Structure 1
Amino acid sequence: MSRTLRYIRILSWLFLAGGAGAAMVLAAFYLYLQPGLPSVDQLRDVNFQTPLKVYTRDSKLIAEFGEMRRTPRDLEAVPAHQVQAFLAAEDSRFHEHHGVDLRGLIRAAWELALTGSIQSGGSTITMQVAKNFFLSRDQTFLRKFNEILLALQIERELSKDEILELYLNKIYLGNRSYGIEAAAQVYYGKPVTDLNLAEMAMIAGLPKAPSTANPLADPERALARRDWILSRMASLGYISGDEYRQATSKGVNARYHGPELALNAPYVAEMARQQALRQFGQQIYSEGFEIHTSVHSEKQEAATRALRQGLEAYDRRHGYRGPIDQWAPEMLNDRDALSKRLEDLPRVNDLVPAAIVALDDNTATAVTALHDRITIPMRHMRWAREYINENRTGPEPESPQDVVAKGDVVYVRIPVQDVLGPERERDTLTAELMQIPEIQGAIVSMSPDNGRIEALSGGYSFSMSSYNRATQAYRQPGSAFKPLIFLAALEHGATAATTINDAPIVFDDEDLETAWRPENVGGQFRGPTTLRQALYQSRNLVAIRLLRQTGIRRTLNYIDSLGLDTSRLPDDLSLALGSGPMTPMEMTRAYAMIANGGYEVTPWVIERIVGPEGKVRREAPETHRCNDCSEDQAVLDAALPDLNRNNGNNGNTDPIRPVHTMERVADEEAIYILQSMMRDVIQRGTGRAARSLGREDLAGKTGTTNDQLDTWFMGFNTGIATGTWVGFDQPRSLGRREFGSVTALPIWKDYMEVALRGMPGKLMERPAGIVSRRIDPDTGETATTDNPDARFEIFRSRYAPEAASSGEPGSRDDSEGGEDGESTPAQQLF
């Protein structure tokens, strides 16, 4: 035997022995690792980490919460070129191998031998699925071997299309986007089905270095990767030469797109998020929960707009406080640097930061981060008198130079379609000089029938302050609290015609440094005044004497029985003037109780929470009213076992919808009279600006505290109750001419104009115990037949003055008319 053959035999045996040894090692690894491998069956029921989404009642998206943005897509809905781009970039032999590509592994091993470190890894798409779903990202041989075993197992149990679908929905693509649909939305602001070829290739290039080589972090590197993928697609026959040349000619047009929200309602979304978090925990951020809130998009949009406009109107009345910054002239000459610096300043709602670059006799010229030239005409700066203090402004400006200077950084409002994107090639745009209001406010609107929150906004801008003034700001309601004082009195024997002396009063208290001398707004006193007139004219002295007549402790106990928190209310006569702090939500809840005829109201903002499996996890309670809730609850408790048993028999394990009983907490006759009195607030009193809405069924009350620290308007009809508050976060005077009718009522009116559309006018049904009497408004006695000033007033029958003798026109015990008169009862207080 020749020496050559002997060497060949030796080498062959060595090769066989090495192969056998390697096989034994691999088999040992397999036998050791296989029992610990996860089951591939888990992939058939995988739940992708999907963020929490919050919607309005009419299914408009208002918020998205979660570390990952993901919207899973079926493979059939993914464009063919998008799939081919990923195959070209990651695994061109995907349809040929069985989970492991030996060529790729050999190439990776060769790179390791040459460089001493792992370069490409040789992973197939199937191996990446195994790693992303089951394994860590540690680059170790043990993890790699597990990855190979899992990939082989996955290929045996899942189809190629199933593997591709899992991969395309799981892969991380930078900027919190997971999966191709989320990436398309993040980088291009549109669904993956609307991407062009260049954009698809750009997304396919992201898995290699999603955080550092995406088109936002490193456009040049991302562009090179995109063009390489396009060349691979052309060489593999996925695209034609013309398609390749056309796609590579396109530049980088990616920019960050936040969640595409249909409506701005961040305060509502945050309330809903906090409630869901308390009930379901951290899983809400990753398991695809949906919250459908109680607000309706049309009303919510109207509430947000009305509040912002009302706060801006107040802010303008008090003058211009100057620019937010002043930049040197050399900065204005460097357009790129100027644009970058302006980009770093926050946008607030629809207000955009701008730098003044030129002035002439009639206009100021400015630039923004997205606009090379905008003009601010003098007519849009005329409001900008110099702010001196809350009561004084400077003279009206006559030229732009009286308002701004070159280099001033200001806020402007540009038509919304021009703010949304780059418009540097457009003709010159006209903008309006603005400033961010320091004043704040809140609006809450709810259904009196069931407590459903119809709309809510807790401030001018959530991005500036997430503090929700609608639910968190405890402020003095002032005269807006008076209806509760009057209701307590009505329940304890007073009438709308009860006469109380509107005259000066002094209280000496050893706990006070000086005597307390409460006054009416304007400092006038009117003498004997009916409660009806006192309420619509907001007479403070009458309210104080009425509270003293009813009793402070009795009134507090009554307010407590209405379901309101009395722990912060004062135990003294200042209670009559609304000195006890309450939130706008609490006040609106109280007014909703008045609006529905005296039934307790529990506000709620979540209509339903839907879990990742599409089942309703929580639902708003079904409400019904009861006059004797103990009897109604006993009937319900007796029925619940049968209801639950029936659900089980039907194979339905879902919980039944919760039931909430709205207990009667106020006498319907007293409520009926109070509603009548509060309608006069709008028809003839401090809220008469609301008459412009052209409705007879509206009732309400203004509120203004001492020194105009807080201003309110609360109003309702039987279908909706809405409250507005305006004030500074750190309480200070709004100015001596600012009252609830000036600041808060316009916001309420602008919102209600939208909220009341299509809502028929409806008054509370007249209770059987209500009677009418024709009385003398000066004496409170039954009117004589020859009294030309006599008016009808309504009474609870047991507190009505004696009727005139039969046949005389002073009696009316039927249920018609007489709600708008004013009168005095047979007895007079004080």
Structure 2
Amino acid sequence: MSSSDKSSNTSSGTTRSWLGRFIIKCAVFAAGLGVCGALVLTLALALAWPNLPDLSAMIDYRPRVPLRIYTADKVLIGEFGEERRNVLRFDEIPDVMKSAILSAEDDRFYQHGGIDWAGVARAMVANLTHMSKTQGASTITMQVARNFYLSSEKTYTRKFYELLLTFKIEATLTKNQILDLYMNQIFLGHRAYGFAAASRTYLGKPLSEITPAEAALLAGIPKAPSRFNPIANFQRAKARQGYVLARMKSLGYLTEAEYEQAKNQEIIIKSAPGTPAGGYAIHGEYVAELARQLLYSVYQDNIYSRGFNVYTTVKSTDQEDAYKAVRDGILTYTRRSVYPGPEETIKLPDNIESKPEELDTLLDSLQEKYPDSDDLLTGLVLDASPTKITIARTASQIIEVTDKGALKTVARGLGKNAQDKYKISRGSVVYVHKDGDHWEVINLPTVQAAFVSVRPQDGAIQAMVGGFDFDGGNFNRVTQAWRQPGSAFKPFIYASSLERGLTPATQISDEPFMLTASQTGSKAWKPKNYGNRYEPMLTMRQGLYKSKNMISIRIMQAVGPKYVQDYITRFGFDRERQPAVLPLALGAGSVTPLQLAGGYAVFANGGYRVPPYLVDHVTDSTGKVIMRAKPVVAGDASARVVDPRTVYVMNDMMRGVATYGTGARVHRELKRNDIGGKTGTTNDSHDAWFAGFTPKLVGIAWMGFDQPRSLGQGETGGGAALPIWLDYMSKTLKGVPETPPGDMPQGLSRVNGDFYFSEYPPGQAIARVGLPAPSDIPVDGGGGGGLDGIADLLNQLKGDSSNRVQAPPTVPF
């Protein structure tokens, strides 16, 4: 062997020796790193695992389900809470929805242990290929972990905890439990949590009714709820749906025929009635808000996330009838009132009609300033003349007002001689309304109205509308507006007199009545009959039919104001709001429409006081009843407050009012003999009322301005409020058989057509109430006249009648 060969071998051996030592050192170093890594990982696990959240809250899942308010027939009318949820059991979710979710999010869900390593590898390859993050590898379990317990921050620490929690969830829960949690709690846009809520929000149907095409649409939303929901971006949602359907076919969930059918199905996006996004099936806003207040008084802030369901006494059909009656009554009054002019008039470019985008942008800004009120819509006048008004709702929706009656309503705003403040011209912002088969221009009403109906057997509220538009202010005039009832209060005055010896046949003076300043202690008081019409003498019955003020005053004077004040508290009226003075005979005290309904219920049910109530029962999120009303029921001896003879006689007289008197329109239109009632109009027509009832239903209608002022000359309860009452009752009583008067109570007799109590038979009953001598009128505030400070008191009552006198709702559960 040559020296060169020896040198080469020596060099080769040295290299191999060095390489071997290097490999050994690397292996030792790697082993050391592995041991250190294992130690670090073990230490991290030891420190992190005990700090993972307890899964008890997940196992005993209690989502933040909102407070929901329902009618008695289970129509949703209100939802209060930050999250919209409809929690379903696993077996209640249709299989097509489950298969769509698995296809879209995690097709190997039932095979992996929480982390889909094959999915991770596939996502890494796809992301490297596209040099961007095009695919994710989060499993359903990982999403559950993230949504329940972890923040959305993108840090390695959070990701590490997510992996650990994923393993813990998989070790604790079954696969079905995990999928159940995911389907009920995942956020899907528009405040919808879970697929049941999303189905109602986007498709307008319960989850049980969805098709494969609709299931695929919903299953595509979790990828990016803000971008893939069909309201925000329908085209993007449809593209995502196509991907999910293809996955469902490739995984065997759909046959080729089912896939083709689903791919071609038209998707209609609409919110279900009863979801805030799509409005509610009926207008029960005032009812829902009052129910919320009542529950809040018991549970405070805890009511908004515990899934309480409040079932009210209101009937959905009655409620919608009441809403329409109030709206129509207010619009009818508004039409016959003086037109006040457009909301405003702006300068329009001459050619804006040819620029749809510019016109729509302008209209959007105007509708933000002057929002629609249900079917009262904001529009912009493009052209106006005495024979036609052209109005733009949008660039593509142009409305023409040509009806002669509609044009007559706003005639003062049309034509060359119209004053500027009334003039309707190009650029005027107006409200339009579809009245039957034609459009009309009508101003947004400033007058208000309210209606409430009550079941007199137990006080259950059947319908309640507290104003024209709840969105314009949630002040509920049924429960919060203290107003003077006017002549609608007279039946309670008359009833008190029957138990003091007067009868329907008692002759009473209708001559003018006056108290001097010395008698009142302040200013002279000279009340008047409506229209300044007087007659020498009338019977009590005639006085009620004609709603004569002088008759009512003399009845109260004969009975005694103090006695009347005590007596009317039996009907539920507040003593402090019904002072013992003669103006009380004209309804100068204060009541709410609901309080008046409770008072008339005593007449309707035979003499029992049944306080109105709204909430029938409340359930928790599981359906367990946690609260139930225990109403007072007519027939309970402890609830009797008025002599049955008094009720019988008053019902007879009030049926006469509804047949022959100021409310005769009731009988003409409804053609029923079992309705009693009374109109009411206060001084200067500040308030208009009609209170009417059958033995099965009491209804109270009111109209007036929030800040009291005259409704106008000639406006009365019969003209302003009665139409609302009739509109409601004509629908509610349709097909309901009449209830004939019951047997005459013991101790009551009928002689020559009129009634007499046994203790006040003919000859002993008070036959006549005439003009008293001045010396017979007491001024000491005692039982006879109670006249001290009447003028001051009238001023006080006038101020107290403001609609803005607020008080807590007086509606028990």
What TM-score comes out, normalization by structure 2 length? 0.81
Q: CA deviation at 1:337?
A: 3.5
- What's the RMSD between the two structures over aligned residues? 3.8
Map Cα deviations across residues 169-203 of structure 1 (whole Å, 9 max, x no partner): 21112221111232233334344566677765554
Q: CA deviation at 1:342?
A: 3.6
Work out whether residues 294 and 453 of structure 1, in 8 Å CA contact, stay in contact via their aligned partners in 2: yes
Secondary structure at 1:207 match in 2: helix
The 3 A distance-change label for structure 1 pair 166 and 139 is same
Structure 2 distance, partners of 1:686, 1:241, is 74
The one of 345, 349, 364 aligned to 2:374: 349
Map Cα deviations across residues 377-407 of structure 1 (whole Å, 9 max, x no partner): 324524414569xxxxx99x99xxx985343
Structure 2 distance, partners of 1:575, 1:623, is 29
The one of 275, 287, 290 aligned to 2:294: 275
Structure 2 distance, partners of 1:33, 1:158, is 20
Structure 1 gap segments, 5+ residues each: 389-393, 417-428, 630-662, 775-791, 804-822
Match of 2:425 in 1: 405
The 3 A distance-change label for structure 1 pair 608 and 156 is same
Map Cα deviations across residues 670-696 of structure 1 (whole Å, 9 max, x no partner): 222222222221122111111121111
The 3 A distance-change label for structure 1 pair 298 and 234 is closer
Structure 2 distance, partners of 1:726, 1:82, is 52
Match of 1:732 in 2: 709
Are 2:655 and 1:679 equivalent residues in the alignment? yes
Give matches, 1:803-814, under 5 Å.
none
Match of 2:805 in 1: none
Secondary structure at 1:409 match in 2: strand
The one of 744, 750, 767 aligned to 1:766: 744
Are 2:709 and 1:688 equivalent residues in the alignment? no
The 3 A distance-change label for structure 1 pair 603 and 477 is same
Q: CA deviation at 1:40?
A: 3.6
* Counterpart AA for 2:320: E
* Counterpart AA for 2:649: I
Structure 2 distance, partners of 1:691, 1:61, is 35
The 3 A distance-change label for structure 1 pair 613 and 253 is closer
* Counterpart AA for 1:72: V
The one of 435, 438, 441 aligned to 2:443: 435
Q: CA deviation at 1:449?
A: 0.9
Work out whether residues 717 and 762 of structure 1, in 8 Å CA contact, stay in contact via their aligned partners in 2: no
Match of 2:335 in 1: 316
The one of 516, 520, 523 aligned to 2:529: 520
Match of 1:305 in 2: 324
Work out whether residues 530 and 824 of structure 1, in 8 Å CA contact, stay in contact via their aligned partners in 2: no
Q: CA deviation at 1:506?
A: 1.6
Match of 2:757 in 1: 796
The 3 A distance-change label for structure 1 pair 54 and 320 is same
Q: CA deviation at 1:450?
A: 0.5
The 3 A distance-change label for structure 1 pair 385 and 109 is closer
Structure 1 distance, partners of 2:631, 2:476, is 27
Structure 1 distance, partners of 2:731, 2:262, is 49
* Counterpart AA for 2:331: E
Work out whether residues 186 and 222 of structure 2, in 8 Å CA contact, stay in contact via their aligned partners in 1: yes
Structure 1 distance, partners of 2:34, 2:440, is 80
Give matches, 1:213-228, under 5 Å.
214=229, 216-217=231-232
Work out whether residues 340 and 369 of structure 1, in 8 Å CA contact, stay in contact via their aligned partners in 2: no
Q: CA deviation at 1:628?
A: 5.3
Q: CA deviation at 1:156?
A: 2.7
The 3 A distance-change label for structure 1 pair 360 and 801 is closer
Match of 1:378 in 2: 403
Are 2:461 and 1:453 equivalent residues in the alignment? yes
Bigger CA drift: 449-458 or 291-300? 291-300
Q: CA deviation at 1:18?
A: 2.9
Map Cα deviations across residues 227-274 of structure 1 (whole Å, 9 max, x no partner): 776777788787799999999999998677715522111111111111
Instruction: Give me the identity figure in percent.
Output: 38
Structure 2 distance, partners of 1:103, 1:164, is 20
The 3 A distance-change label for structure 1 pair 91 and 561 is same
Q: CA deviation at 1:306?
A: 1.4
The 3 A distance-change label for structure 1 pair 184 and 335 is farther
Structure 1 distance, partners of 2:635, 2:201, is 51
Structure 1 distance, partners of 2:127, 2:38, is 22
Give matches, 1:63-102, under 5 Å.
63-74=78-89, 83=98, 86-87=101-102, 89-102=104-117
* Counterpart AA for 2:400: T
Structure 1 distance, partners of 2:716, 2:595, is 21
Structure 1 distance, partners of 2:259, 2:344, is 49
Higher helix share: 2
The one of 9, 27, 31 aligned to 1:16: 31
Match of 2:698 in 1: 721
Match of 1:335 in 2: 356
Secondary structure at 1:174 match in 2: coil
Match of 1:570 in 2: 579
Q: CA deviation at 1:585?
A: 0.6
Match of 2:784 in 1: none
Q: CA deviation at 1:480?
A: 0.7
Are 2:509 and 1:501 equivalent residues in the alignment? yes
Match of 2:803 in 1: none
Q: CA deviation at 1:129?
A: 0.7
User: Size of the alignment, in residue pairs?
Assistant: 738
Secondary structure at 1:412 match in 2: strand
The one of 140, 145, 170 aligned to 1:155: 170
Q: CA deviation at 1:164?
A: 1.9
Q: CA deviation at 1:734?
A: 0.7
Work out whether residues 357 and 365 of structure 1, in 8 Å CA contact, stay in contact via their aligned partners in 2: yes
The 3 A distance-change label for structure 1 pair 613 and 316 is same
Q: CA deviation at 1:343?
A: 4.5
Secondary structure at 1:766 match in 2: coil
Bigger CA drift: 233-242 or 579-588? 233-242
The 3 A distance-change label for structure 1 pair 370 and 78 is farther
The 3 A distance-change label for structure 1 pair 250 and 794 is closer
Structure 1 distance, partners of 2:762, 2:433, is 61
Give matches, 1:185-334, under 5 Å.
185-192=200-207, 203-211=218-226, 214=229, 216-217=231-232, 258-259=277-278, 261-327=280-346, 328=348, 329-334=350-355
The 3 A distance-change label for structure 1 pair 160 and 340 is farther
Work out whether residues 374 and 430 of structure 1, in 8 Å CA contact, stay in contact via their aligned partners in 2: no
Structure 2 distance, partners of 1:664, 1:744, is 30
The 3 A distance-change label for structure 1 pair 512 and 442 is farther
Secondary structure at 1:431 match in 2: strand
The one of 620, 624, 638 aligned to 2:629: 620
Work out whether residues 101 and 219 of structure 2, in 8 Å CA contact, stay in contact via their aligned partners in 1: yes
Work out whether residues 306 and 747 of structure 1, in 8 Å CA contact, stay in contact via their aligned partners in 2: yes
Map Cα deviations across residues 394-425 of structure 1 (whole Å, 9 max, x no partner): 99x99xxx985343333233499xxxxxxxxx
Secondary structure at 1:146 match in 2: helix
The 3 A distance-change label for structure 1 pair 199 and 298 is closer
* Counterpart AA for 2:474: S
Match of 1:611 in 2: 620
* Counterpart AA for 1:710: D
Work out whether residues 386 and 407 of structure 2, in 8 Å CA contact, stay in contact via their aligned partners in 1: no
Bigger CA drift: 407-416 or 586-595? 407-416
Secondary structure at 2:502 match in 1: coil
Are 2:481 and 1:473 equivalent residues in the alignment? yes
Q: CA deviation at 1:735?
A: 0.8
Map Cα deviations across residues 316-373 of structure 1 (whole Å, 9 max, x no partner): 1114333334341444433233334445522212222233335688544433249534
Match of 1:542 in 2: 551
Structure 2 gap segments, 5+ residues each: 1-15, 773-813
* Counterpart AA for 1:684: Y
